[in-house]
Chain A
Amino acid sequence: MKTKPIKPPAGSVSEAAEWQLRLYVAGQTAKSIAALNNLKQLCETHLAGRYAIEVIDLLVNPQLAAGDQILAVPMLVRKFPEPIRKIIGDLSNEERVLVGLDVQPLRPGVV
């Protein structure tokens, strides 16, 4: 897959990570940059070391849009663990993202 995997921060497991997330964006728009930043921050906070993020730019790989049923961007897809979950938007609302991903917040107090 011709994607540009963003290396997760050091210490995390890149292969067979517990959380495999894929972020679909369309070019370097403000929304996509915001979404990626929000996602990174959220993962570092709650899923440190247990996640892998793959960013797919649909402008580069338009054929992937149909295959993965992408409609709205930015879209975050939880490929693993099953079942697949989809979150659209710039992921600015951390609580909803966590609910959407079904992630238990590590520090209940934060949320």
Chain B
Amino acid sequence: MPPKLTRPKKENYSGLQKASTGIQGLDEITAGGLPRGRPTLVCGGAGCGKTLLAAEFLVRGATQCDEPGVFMMFEENAHELTQNMRSLGFDLDRLQKQKKIVLDFVHIERSEIEETGDYDLEGLFIRLGHAIDRIGAKRVVIDTLEALFAGLPNHAVLRAELRRLFRWLKDRGMTAIITAERGDESLTRYGLEEYVADCVIVLDHRITDQVSTRRLRVLKYRGSSHGTNEYPFLIGDLGISVLPITSLGLGHKAHQQRISTGISGLDEMFGGKGVYRGTSVLVSGSPGTGKSSIGASFANAACQRGDSVLLLAYEESQSQMIRNMRSIGIDLARWQEKGLLEIHASRPTLHGLEQHLVLMHELIARIKPVLVVVDPISNLTMDSDDTLLKPTLMRLIDFLKRSGVTAVFTSLTSDSEAASASSEVGVSSLMDSWILVTNLQRNGERTRTLQILKSRGMSHSNQVREFVFSSRGVDLLDVYLADNQVLTGTARVVQEARDRVADELRRRDHERRLGELASYRRTIEAQIDALKADLERHANEVEFSIARDNFEAEGIAARSRIARWSAATESNRTKQSRKRNR
């Protein structure tokens, strides 16, 4: 299948023109609608929704595409059809009055009709032609032609006339839907596919595990590509909606915006900012690990930001959920009153998986939420066979991503640790972030722990964190590391106490040692003072003795100078006397 089914532009000129059906999803599968100006065969068993599909095609054409239509019916009369369609919100009476739709009930009663000789169905052509001309119809529905086979015994004439009818419809450029009952061997009981071969749509109503799902398949579409898969469809309050999600490529836009998880500790683990908007988050865990609470926290945080939230609950009823969440301080009722939160609780067994998906689609399309919480996805299937869950979720995730909706899915896993990782392998690859909540059983108690197994496109914590509920909400405790181990629960408390004691002892020891140091310092300082005083004294003494010495030395010098002087005078006298004596 091509990744994108939109046709290149040039094809609009040369290629097949299409008429939009206006039916959700069908236009996507058929890449624009049914072949314009050609008949399309819709076949299927009883109760498949053939009439409804045809009627919706006509009503949508009249109201949305401005293409009036003629509904020629052989089984129901106009009144019955009007009533039936009214229950789906289509007011055929009004459309008839507005000359947008003509209802023509063709009544054939085998017992009233006698055949003699040659005849044709010109009457039918005239009727149809007249109805078409009256409102300028562009679309025709014939539901179901096969009633003619029961009403008219001469099948040779009938077949020739039917061939002419389809030719005639084509010539008049009518986009037509012809419905037919499914046959045992062939597509239709009377082999109508022989005549209408441009486009064949097969409807199917299948029951698996007591749950029925309607499916639609485009068997053939001449001159156009189309989705070939079987697509589930639902007859809902707004008519038919088909799910063509797998026909889409991975073309969604990635948001840069980050949104809070509502749990500050968890935000921190996601790099402090929470998860990216428009991504899908899987919260998996064994029973009682707090998956729903995480989901509710997400919802609560979104509502606090003023975003609208859709909460799909498959385990608890609405009021039960509100009550339970109130016990951990999350008041969902107030958001409901504000119209921000919508809770849809239903039993998963109510519908098949596909039908759930369609319902989700309708809800999402109507509410246009920013966040969707599905609690839980694991409960959507009755059987343990998960093969269907993955494609369904893929479709849902694709759809949500395309609409930029952030999704939180919770998933129940069995309690054993080995299974917790393996059972999700199927869906985890679809998820952008995966939060695993586990119960650690140790020392006779269970502790909730939380870890982020993956989170695409952001740095995230690799630690296992302890996860606690309180009346103020859900939060994560700081990591408690001891001896290279993350401690949780009682072990954490014990270790905390032990660490507190150790801290205290250490503190006291430090105090004591500081005290010792202070007194030692004081002693040393006293000693220093004493030594300093001693030094001072010593210095004084030395200075004094030096001074005294100096004085003494000066005295001696003075005395000796006097002596030298007197001696000199003495010797002079002696010299002079000697001279004289000579």
- Contacting residues, chain B, for A105 (C-beta < 8 A): none
Task: Scan residues 69-105 of chain A and give those whose CB is less than 8 A from a CB of chain B.
Answer: 69-75, 84-93, 96-97, 99-100
Partner of A72, one of B107, B130, B152: B152
Task: Scan residues 116-153 of chain B and give those whose CB is less than 8 A from a CB of chain A.
Answer: 116-127, 129-131, 148, 151-152
* Min distance, Cβ B11 to any Cβ of chain A, angstroms: 38
- Contacting residues, chain A, for B119 (C-beta < 8 A): 31, 72-75, 88-90
Indicate if the CB atoms of B130 and A89 lie closer than 8 Å. Answer: no
Cβ of B112 under 8 Å from chain A: yes
- Contacting residues, chain A, for B126 (C-beta < 8 A): 26, 58-59, 62, 65, 70, 73
Cβ of B207 under 8 Å from chain A: no
- Contacting residues, chain B, for A91 (C-beta < 8 A): 116-117
Task: Scan residues 38-81 of chain A and give those whose CB is less than 8 A from a CB of chain B.
Answer: 58-59, 62-63, 65-66, 69-75
Indicate if the CB atoms of A66 and B104 lie closer than 8 Å. Answer: yes
Partner of B113, one of A24, A58, A73, A87: A87
Indicate if the CB atoms of A62 and B114 lie closer than 8 Å. Answer: no
Cβ of B115 under 8 Å from chain A: yes
Indicate if the CB atoms of A86 and B122 lie closer than 8 Å. Answer: no
Distance of A75 Cα from B117 Cα, bound (Å): 11
- Write the B142-169 contact mask toward A (1 if CB under 8 angstroms, else 0): 0000001001100000000000000000
Distance of A85 Cα from B116 Cα, bound (Å): 13
Indicate if the CB atoms of A26 and B118 lie closer than 8 Å. Answer: no
Partner of A66, one of B120, B125, B130: B130
Indicate if the CB atoms of A96 and B115 lie closer than 8 Å. Answer: yes
Which has the most chain B C-beta neighbours within 10 Å: A26, A71, A97?
A71
Partner of B120, one of A34, A73, A85, A100: A73
* Min distance, Cβ B241 to any Cβ of chain A, angstroms: 33
Indicate if the CB atoms of A99 and B122 lie closer than 8 Å. Answer: no
- How many residues on chain A are close to B (CB under 8 Å)? 34
- Write the A28-41 contact mask toward B (1 if CB under 8 angstroms, else 0): 01010011000000
Indicate if the CB atoms of B123 and A26 lie closer than 8 Å. Answer: yes
Indicate if the CB atoms of A86 and B114 lie closer than 8 Å. Answer: yes
Indicate if the CB atoms of B114 and A85 lie closer than 8 Å. Answer: yes
Indicate if the CB atoms of B116 and A96 lie closer than 8 Å. Answer: yes
Q: Chain A: which residue is nearest B153 at the CB level? A: A88
Cβ of B106 under 8 Å from chain A: yes
- Contacting residues, chain B, for A29 (C-beta < 8 A): 122
Distance of A66 Cα from B122 Cα, bound (Å): 12
Indicate if the CB atoms of A63 and B130 lie closer than 8 Å. Answer: yes
- Contacting residues, chain B, for A73 (C-beta < 8 A): 119-123, 126
Which has the most chain A C-beta neighbours within 10 Å: B119, B124, B130, B148?
B119
Cβ of B108 under 8 Å from chain A: yes
Q: Chain B: which residue is nearest A38 at the CB level? A: B117
Distance of A27 Cα from B152 Cα, bound (Å): 22
Indicate if the CB atoms of B116 and A90 lie closer than 8 Å. Answer: yes
* Min distance, Cβ B121 to any Cβ of chain A, angstroms: 5
* Min distance, Cβ A28 to any Cβ of chain B, angstroms: 12
Which has the most chain B C-beta neighbours within 10 Å: A58, A72, A91, A92?
A72
- Write the B100-112 contact mask toward A (1 if CB under 8 angstroms, else 0): 0000101110001
* Min distance, Cβ B113 to any Cβ of chain A, angstroms: 5
- Contacting residues, chain A, for B124 (C-beta < 8 A): 71-72
Known: A62-B126, A62-B130, A65-B127. A72 touches B116 (CB 8 A): no
- Contacting residues, chain A, for B104 (C-beta < 8 A): 66
A-B contact pairs, 8 of them (CB 8 A): A35-B117, A62-B126, A66-B131, A72-B120, A73-B121, A88-B113, A90-B117, A93-B116
Sample of 12 further A-B pairs with CB below 8 A, known A88-B114, A90-B119: A26-B125, A69-B108, A70-B126, A71-B108, A72-B152, A73-B119, A73-B120, A85-B114, A87-B115, A90-B118, A93-B116, A99-B114
* Ranked 3 nearest A-B pairs via Cβ: A100-B114, A62-B130, A92-B117
